[in-house]
A and B are shown apart, each in its own frame.
Chain A
Amino acid sequence: MSNTAKRLYYIPYMLWIILFVIAPVALIIYQSFFNLDHQFTLGNYAAYFTSGTYLRMTLNSFWYALIITVATVLISYPAALFLNQLKHKDLWLLLIILPTWINLLLKAYAFIGIFGQNGSVNQFLGFIGIGPKQILFTDFSFIFVATYIEIPFMILPIYNAIAEIDPALLNASRDLGATNWQTLTRVLLPLTRKGVVAGVQAVFIPSLSLFMLTRLIGGNRVITLGTAIEEHFLTTMNWGMGSTIGVILIVMMFLSMALTAERRHKRKGIGTGAKEK
């Protein structure tokens, strides 16, 4: 096939990327340099970095996203390991993925019912004599629900990474005298690092800008950058400031991608390099 014909095939993909990736990001960056009077300004960025509110909000978002990610990894890794040893793997995996077919809003409303004053959790607490507790609108409920929603996105890549491992490697490690713990830390973890990294990226980045849950489950007692963006676009009509926060979120996302990707690179030489070839 000639080179020009090959290039023709790229056109739809290039168009897609330009229209739906590059153009929107460029527009956001462009918008972020304008104030309410449509004048060019760096004021939005100055406002962001000098206002304690926005910086604190950024720290909050980061903090919550980190907790959610760590919690999902802690739950998903053993779950994925366990899944791989079951008989009907595919069926169980399907059951874990099933909740992602349901709309996020519906799941949030279901949790409102479960965690409410008259919800099943509080009824149980009352039954065993602890008495109803305030569960909705707390940090705990927000992190719990966010973790629940993100778990499938973490399990899938880890599960795939584990499934790819040659069982002979694990057997060899045991034959050569490694304890279970050593097999886990020296063989399994390095070999599944890629899956964990992919999972972390799929969970951490969207968690940075969760905003429906902050209101529905967190009762706006949990504030993340997503809340501020929504407000600037819908209520104050200050699209410049909203875009500025958007740009900062994008930069944060790139940073976290770069950070996690670099670690993988370093590891390549030690453990997984040979297998990838």
Chain B
Amino acid sequence: MKKLMSFFIAIVAACLLLTLGVNRLEHAQGDANAKTLNLFNWGDYIDPALLTKFSKETGYKVNYETFDSNEAMLTKIQQGGTSYDLAVPSDYTIEKMKKEHLLLPLDRSKIKGMNNIGKDFLNKSFDPGNRYSIPYFWGTLGIIYNDRYVQADEMQHWSDLWNPKWRHSIMLVDSARDILGLALVKNGDSMNTKSVAQVTRAKDSLDDLAPNVKAIVADEIKMYMIQNEAPLAVTWSGEASEMLANNSHLHYVVPTEGSNLWFDNLVIPKTAKHFKAIYAFLNFMLEPKNAKQNAEYVGYATPNDKAKAMLPKAIRNDKQFYPEPKTIGKLQVYDDLGLKTVGMYNDLFLEFKMHRS
């Protein structure tokens, strides 16, 4: 009993000490409060060296907080508990945030270097005139194949996935919009359709694909493809670049008939407080030199044309991640479809998952 008591006291004492320490630390940070920037971004989505460089150049300290889905980020900003100064949502989420008045417009007079961004990436449907957002990275949805099992000419189009040769071979990313989207493109429909008939037809096509599907998984796809677990996968270009870096047999294809084009963009949520720091950071990231460094670290495609020109030739001319203009023209950006249609997509996707062949 005595032993137990002293054990408990030790735990309580340790907790108290830790609390005190944390308090102290927070206090120390609080002193520099005016000189901070709260950046809310996806995990591992910026070169940490750039953050240090930014702090050195401007004196602002960056608090880097991460989220792992647009929905989670949206909920946190809606609740407004933390004063996030900048966030990096994807295209359709920006549309949603605009509708819910969660964004502050950009003061263009304070931004330098907007003309570094390529014309293809500005003035998109989710934010006409870029009143609220600056593109950060962009990418596509496509097919990854392992050249040990699949020849390049066998896998150029979405319809190639339906080839009976690939029984139990394909890993799909667990995302209703993307997987139904690829079936919509294969059937010649728009990825933003609200027509129940078209989406149902896409779901029927997916049911036909079911015998070829090995698994519907999330982040694990990366690990599986690197370990040669499956010959084929459907996922986003950002994930693909990481897989390709780890397994030289993997290749990434964006089907020429069309696919999704996505953007992650810097925006100022309504919770922002440190406006000087915000514009300093936006200008810092628009500088071609910094954007180039970031693109090399993250491995996604940069919308900053001047930065792209500075990238090594092998990256710049890589058709996998910077597709030909002709293909880019066919890519579709997701619109915010509204909760009802999103629900319809997800219900049909769930039915597809339940489908057993």
Contact = CB atoms under 8 A, between A and B. Distances in A.
Interface string A215-242: 1100111010001100110111110010
B354 A36 contact: no
B214 A137 contact: yes
Nearest to A118: B227
A100 to B, nearest CB: 21
A142 B69 CA distance: 27
Contacts of A112: 220, 223
A216 B220 contact: yes
A227 B174 CA distance: 11
A241 B342 CA distance: 14
Contacts of B342: 235-237
Interface string A111-134: 010001110000000000000001
Nearest to B346: A236
Given A118-B228, A236-B342, A219 B214 contact: yes
B84 to A, nearest CB: 20
Interface string B193-221: 00000000000000000000111111010
A234 B350 contact: no
Contact of B343 (A117, A215, A234, A236): A236
B311 interface: no
A235 B220 CA distance: 19
A53 B72 CA distance: 27
Given A219-B214, A221-B216, A238 B339 contact: yes
Given A219-B215, A219-B216, A236-B343, A53 B351 contact: yes
A145 interface: no
A57 interface: yes
A53 B217 contact: no
- Interface size grouping (class) on chain A: 20 to 34
Contacts of A232: 346
B346 A235 contact: yes
Contacts of A158: none
Give the contact-size bracket for chain B: 20 to 34
B339 A237 contact: yes
A53 B354 contact: yes
Given A215-B217, A215-B218, A220-B217, A53 B347 contact: yes
A136 interface: yes
Given A118-B227, A223-B354, A231-B346, A36 B215 contact: no
A56 interface: yes
Given A117-B229, A223-B350, A236 B339 contact: yes
Which of A36, A134, A221, A234 has the most chain B CB atoms inside 10 A of its CB? A221
Interface string B134-153: 00000000000000000000
B2 to A, nearest CB: 23
B229 A116 contact: yes
A237 B223 CA distance: 29
A238 B176 CA distance: 15
Contacts of A220: 174, 215-217, 353
A37 to B, nearest CB: 9
Nearest to A60: B354
B168 A134 contact: yes
B71 interface: yes
B228 A117 contact: yes
Interface string A179-215: 0000000000000000000000000000000000001
Contacts of A234: 69, 71-72
B340 interface: yes
Contacts of A117: 227-229
B228 A137 contact: no
Interface string A31-74: 00000100000000000000001001100100000000000000
Contacts of B216: 215, 219-221
A237 B171 CA distance: 26
A53 B351 CA distance: 6
B32 to A, nearest CB: 36
B5 to A, nearest CB: 22
A121 to B, nearest CB: 14
Contacts of B71: 234-235, 237
A57 B354 contact: yes
Contacts of A36: 339-340, 343
A219 B168 CA distance: 12
Contacts of B213: 221
A134 B168 CA distance: 9
A76 B342 CA distance: 45
Contacts of B227: 116-118
A237 B341 CA distance: 12
Interface string B316-357: 000000000000000000000001101100110011011010
B220 A56 contact: no
Contact of A53 (B69, B220, B228, B350): B350
B229 to A, nearest CB: 5
A118 B342 CA distance: 38
A136 B214 CA distance: 9
Given A219-B217, A227-B350, A235-B342, 8 more contacts: A60-B354, A116-B224, A215-B217, A216-B220, A219-B214, A221-B356, A235-B71, A236-B339
22 contacts: A36-B340, A53-B350, A53-B354, A116-B224, A117-B227, A134-B168, A136-B215, A137-B214, A215-B174, A215-B216, A216-B217, A216-B220, A219-B216, A220-B174, A221-B216, A221-B356, A227-B353, A228-B350, A234-B71, A235-B176, A237-B71, A238-B343
Q: Which 8 A-B pairs have the closest CB atoms?
A: A219-B215, A220-B216, A137-B215, A236-B346, A236-B343, A36-B339, A117-B229, A53-B351
